[in-house]
């Protein structure tokens, strides 16, 4: 070997540094042998290098082929992009480029899309698991079954999503393989030779890390998922959520009841998650509050200064109750008031429950996120400001423009009715 | 020459050279150079392609303290060579006919 030829081989080797060693060594072996034989035949180093042509050309040819073969063998998004990019760069004339684009651009795009979907699923799995673990930590220790159930759900859903993500990944891999076959045909490359000499198959320089094998860990993964499912279903959580989601009347209701002297109550404030609120005029002389409490709620009836306060809150047994409360519950908080009695301020608020009210007060505020409002304004007594989605407001059965103000007979009595997603009906008879 | 035709002919020439005797890379390329203008960069992929297709196999022989890789045509390679030769004969017939026509035309006008 002369200095010239040694440098030549070195520059080829340097150009292929980032590629798997096996095929690169095969190629280098060929060129080294060629040079040795040429030298033996009496050629000078300069003559040989001139004969072989530029080392860049050799590097490019080997590179294009090795990248495609390597990607077919071990598919992945980075390899896919590298091999495809290289193939497109290799092709110089526009006709070949056009046929390459026609033949390969769709499978490349689909494979990349599937890789993205796969990664998104993994990220989703992590995010959802984090949310569920947070929810689980929020559950009070006395509700152990629910705690374990939520943990089980976190396990189950993460395994499910991870498995789905793996599915997308494998799908993307097989599309990548097919794409590489097409690329090889389109760019007229050769498949990889099996390496006979084991000394040549030194570890791959690009990916020294041991590849994580999902296949081997699949039984463990499925076991975890199954454990999660068992925990989840034995906790009874799904049934509870199912009943709330479908607005079913829950079992195990506790009845809370309290009576007040109407003269002492000037203001009423009721807040519920998804229980209905009914304010109605009864025949009784007293003021009665009654509430059907499911075992995942806590209701509190309080009397402070001259205000009657009712609050329905989650007792923490079911996580994400605020979210699930947009579904109307079949439980009711009922306030019975004596006929003809006038209050100062009445405020009724519910996330998912319907609100029905027939009350006399100076000011009534009713707000619900997802429920409907039925408001009684006998003889057009109130001045009412309504806000609800278009064409969902009815006054005496007649549709009304949203944001309207209905002038009432009594100017000092006003009501503000807001339903973010429900309908508002106002009775005026 | 059209690259597609050149590529097909390259394969055939390599097989034809190997049919006579087993040989090594440099020698093969020298023989090729005597027949047609082919760059060294083109020959290596041809050899690899033929090997992958099973038309030739290799073995190493020690030569002055190093290993030299020899290429040997397989039975499958011989079969392929016969087929390629048939196609070339066909092509030759067509080429003769075309050249004949061009010649006659030239004679008439010339």
Q: What is the pLDDT of residues B2-24, one digit of tens each?
A: 666 667 788 889 999 999 999 99
Mean pLDDT of B87-109: 86
Which positions in chain B touch A34 (Cβ < 8 Å)? 25-26, 29, 40
Helix axes A237-245, A214-234, angle to 10 degrees: 70
* DSSP state letter for B75: H
**Do A338 and A286 form a contact (C-beta atoms < 8 A)?**
yes
User: Does A283 score more than 80 pLDDT?
Assistant: no
Do the Cβ atoms of B52 and A30 come within 8 Å? no
User: Does B80 score more than 80 pLDDT?
Assistant: yes
Give the whole-angstrom CA distance, residue A96 versus residue B76: 31
Do the Cβ atoms of A40 and B64 come within 8 Å? yes
Helix axes B25-35, B40-52, angle to 10 degrees: 110
Residue A324 CA to chain centroid, in angstroms? 16
Adjacency order of strands within the sheet including A373-376: A254-260, A287-293, A332-338, A276-282, A355-357, A373-376, A424-427, A393-395, A398-400
Q: What is the pLDDT of residues B20-69, one digit of tens each?
A: 999 998 888 888 888 877 777 778 888 888 888 889 999 988 888 888 89
Mean pLDDT of A258-275: 91
Mean pLDDT of A70-89: 88
* Confidence band of A387 (pLDDT split at 50, 70, 90): confident
Do the Cβ atoms of B26 and A34 come within 8 Å? yes
Locate the chain A residue with the closest alpha carbon to B7.
Answer: A188
The answer for residues whose C-beta is within 8 angstroms of residue A135's C-beta and 6 or more apart is A150, A319, A320
| Concatenated DSSP letters of B30-55 | HHHHHHS---HHHHHHHHHHHHHTTS
User: Does A198 score more than 50 pLDDT?
Assistant: no
Using CB atoms, pick whichever of A34, A51, A190 lies closest to residue B25: A34
Pairwise pLDDT comparison (A160 vs A216), residue with the higher score: A160
Using CB atoms, pick whichever of B40, B49, B69 lies closest to residue A33: B69
Where in chain B are the domains?
3-109
Do the Cβ atoms of B41 and A58 come within 8 Å? yes
Mean pLDDT of A402-416: 82
* pLDDT for the residue A206: 47
Hey, CA dihedral for A400, A405, A411, A414, is it positive or negative?
positive
Classify the phi-psi angles of B36: left when phi > 0, otherwise alpha if psi is within -120 to 50, otherwise beta: beta
**Do A145 and A117 form a contact (C-beta atoms < 8 A)?**
no
- State in words which class domain B3-109 has: mainly alpha
User: Token pair of A223, please?
Assistant: 């076991």
Residue B44 CA to chain centroid, in angstroms? 13
* pLDDT for the residue A212: 64
The answer for residues whose C-beta is within 8 angstroms of residue A210's C-beta and 6 or more apart is none
Using CB atoms, pick whichever of A41, A51, A190 lies closest to residue B49: A190
Give the whole-angstrom CA distance, residue A180 versus residue A192: 12
* pLDDT for the residue A192: 62
Which positions in chain B touch A30 (Cβ < 8 Å)? 25, 44, 47, 69
Query: Per mean pLDDT, which range of A78-87, A229-238, B36-45 is the poorest?
Result: B36-45
In this prediction, what percent of chain A has a pLDDT beyond 70?
93
Complex ipTM: 0.84
* Confidence band of A171 (pLDDT split at 50, 70, 90): very high
Do the Cβ atoms of B41 and A53 come within 8 Å? yes
Do the Cβ atoms of B41 and A33 come within 8 Å? no
Do the Cβ atoms of A37 and B27 come within 8 Å? yes
Hey, CA dihedral for A183, A186, A190, A191, is it positive or negative?
positive
Do the Cβ atoms of B7 and A188 come within 8 Å? yes
Give the whole-angstrom CA distance, residue A221 versus residue A233: 18
Give the whole-angstrom CA distance, residue A128 versus residue A158: 7
A65 touching B (Cβ < 8 Å): yes
Locate the chain B residue with the closest alpha carbon to A65.
Answer: B45
């Amino acid at each position: 070997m002369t200095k010239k030829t040694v440098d030549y081989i070195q520059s080829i080797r340097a150009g292929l540094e980032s590629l798997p060693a096996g095929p690169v060594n095969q190629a280098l072996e060929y060129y080294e042998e060629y040079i040795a034989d040429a030298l033996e035949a009496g050629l000078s180093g300069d003559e040989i290098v001139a004969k072989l042509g530029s080392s860049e050309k050799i590097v490019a040819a080997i590179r294009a082929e090795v990248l495609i073969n390597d990607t077919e063998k071990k598919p992945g998004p980075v390899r896919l992009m590298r091999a495809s990019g290289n193939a497109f760069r290799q092709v110089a004339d526009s006709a070949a480029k056009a046929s390459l684009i026609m033949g390969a651009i769709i499978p490349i795009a689909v494979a990349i899309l599937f890789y993205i979907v796969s990664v998104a699923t993994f990220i989703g799995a992590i995010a959802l698991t984090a949310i569920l673990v947070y929810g689980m930590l929020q559950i009070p220790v006395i509700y152990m079954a629910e705690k374990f159930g939520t943990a089980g759900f976190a396990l189950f859903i993460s395994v499910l999503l991870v498995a789905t993500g793996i599915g997308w990944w494998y799908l993307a891999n097989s599309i990548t393989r097919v794409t590489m076959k097409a690329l090889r045909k389109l760019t007229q490359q050769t498949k990889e030779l099996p390496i006979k000499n084991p000394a040549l198959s030194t570890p791959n320089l690009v990916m020294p890390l041991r590849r994580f094998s999902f296949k081997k860990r699949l039984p463990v993964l499925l076991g975890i998922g199954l454990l999660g499912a068992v925990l989840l279903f034995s906790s009874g959580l799904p049934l509870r959520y199912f009943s709330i989601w479908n607005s079913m009347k829950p079992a195990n209701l506790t009845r809370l009841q309290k009576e007040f002297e109407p003269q002492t109550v000037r203001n009423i404030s009721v807040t519920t998650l998804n229980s209905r609120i009914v304010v109605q005029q009864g025949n009784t002389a007293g003021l009665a509050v009654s509430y059907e409490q499911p075992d995942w709620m806590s209701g509190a009836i309080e009397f402070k200064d001259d205000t009657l306060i009712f609050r329905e809150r989650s007792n923490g047994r079911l996580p994400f109750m605020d979210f699930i409360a947009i579904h109307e519950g079949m439980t009711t908080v009922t306030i019975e008031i004596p006929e003809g009695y006038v209050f100062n301020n009445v405020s009724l608020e519910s996330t998912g429950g319907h609100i029905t009210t027939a009350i006399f007060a100076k000011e009534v505020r009713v707000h619900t996120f997802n429920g409907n409002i039925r408001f009684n304004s006998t003889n057009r007594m109130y001045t009412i400001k309504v806000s609800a989605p278009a064409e969902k407001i009815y006054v005496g059965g007649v549709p009304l423009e949203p944001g309207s103000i209905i002038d009432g007979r009594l100017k000092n009595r006003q009501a503000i009715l807001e339903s973010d997603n429900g309908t508002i009906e106002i009775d005026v008879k | 020459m059209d690259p597609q035709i050149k590529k097909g002919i390259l394969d055939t020439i390599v097989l034809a050279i190997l049919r006579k005797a087993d040989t090594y890379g440099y020698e093969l390329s020298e023989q090729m150079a005597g027949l047609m203008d082919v760059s060294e960069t083109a020959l290596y992929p041809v050899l690899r392609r033929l090997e992958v297709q099973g038309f030739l196999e290799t073995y190493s022989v020690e030569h002055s303290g190093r290993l030299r890789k020899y290429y040997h045509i397989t039975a499958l390679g011989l079969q392929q060579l016969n087929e390629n030769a048939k196609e070339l004969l066909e092509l030759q017939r067509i080429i003769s006919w075309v050249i004949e026509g061009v010649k006659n035309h030239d004679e008439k006008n010339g």
